[in-house]
Amino acid sequence: MGYLIFILPALLLSFYAQFKVKSTFNQYSQVRSSRGYTGADIARAILQRNGMSNSVGIQPIAGSLSDNYDPRTHTVNLSETVYGSNSIAAIGVAAHEVGHAIQHNQKYGPLELRHSLVPVTNLASSASFPIILIGMLMNSLDLLLLGIILFTAVVIFQLVTLPVELNASRRAVLQLADTGMISNDEIPMVKKVLGAAALTYLAATLSAVSSLLYYVMIFMGGGDDN
């Protein structure tokens, strides 16, 4: 019960963020771009504009809101609802993912740091909570501290991810504005789509920080969760 009260604000923000991103995406999926370009068209144009058309590929993938940039294969993966759609939502999402490709090409510091943290974060995210739980059940401060140290890696990853995502969105808006592939009236709509997506990363960061602070409070209290 103590944990729920402590993390409730972050949980509420997370629920709101998920609702906001889906509702905003659905809303602007119904608004067609005046220029008629699809998400794939936008991705190709921005990559070409930045001299990356030969080094970064674009491919459609299954799912909705499953879009991503894979730095291992140098591929912008666009979901079915983005790749062939000429909606404002599709254009915004496609430009955002190409923003990550540009970050990678320019060796953007926070992105490089996030990539280096992935192996540690994968281990920490799966091991930290079981260790913390066992430490609490056994009243073992040593195990609790180990779990907290591991979970700190997860928090650091989230803290690094937030500026990476915000920067990719900023790059997306600038690229769209400079290319002229959407009208000036459509830029605020794209910002709304990307702003809603940013909320999910903010919520994840606040949730991780809140959890870490709660675990630290338990540790400072001697492992007693009352």
> Residue 108: pLDDT above 50?
yes
User: What per-residue confidence (pLDDT) applies to 52?
Assistant: 97
Secondary structure element (H or E) that encloses residue 24, with its range = helix 2-29
- What residues does 70 pair with on adjacent strands? 75
User: What per-residue confidence (pLDDT) applies to 225?
Assistant: 46
Q: Is residue 141 part of a domain?
A: yes
Q: Is residue 79 part of a domain?
A: no
Q: Is residue 110 part of a domain?
A: yes
Q: Is residue 51 part of a domain?
A: no
* Mean pLDDT computed over 171-198: 94
Going by pLDDT thresholds of 50, 70 and 90, the confidence category of residue 6 is low
- Per DSSP, 32 falls in state B
* Mean pLDDT computed over 60-88: 95
Going by pLDDT thresholds of 50, 70 and 90, the confidence category of residue 2 is low
Range of the domain at 126: 2-33+87-220
Amino acid letter, residue 99: G
Q: Is residue 81 part of a domain?
A: no
Instruction: Using DSSP, state whether 70 is helix, strand or coil.
Output: strand
Q: Is residue 216 part of a domain?
A: yes
Q: Is residue 43 part of a domain?
A: no
What's the total number of domains in the chain?
1
Residue-wise pLDDT for 10-19, tens only, equals: 788 889 999 9
User: What per-residue confidence (pLDDT) applies to 11?
Assistant: 83
> Residue 226: pLDDT above 90?
no
Helix ranges (DSSP H) in 38-186: 39-49, 80-83, 88-105, 109-137, 141-179
Predicted TM-score (pTM) of this structure: 0.89
Q: Is residue 104 part of a domain?
A: yes
The catalytic site residues sit at: 97
- Per DSSP, 181 falls in state S
Residue-wise pLDDT for 22-43, tens only, equals: 999 999 999 999 999 999 999 9
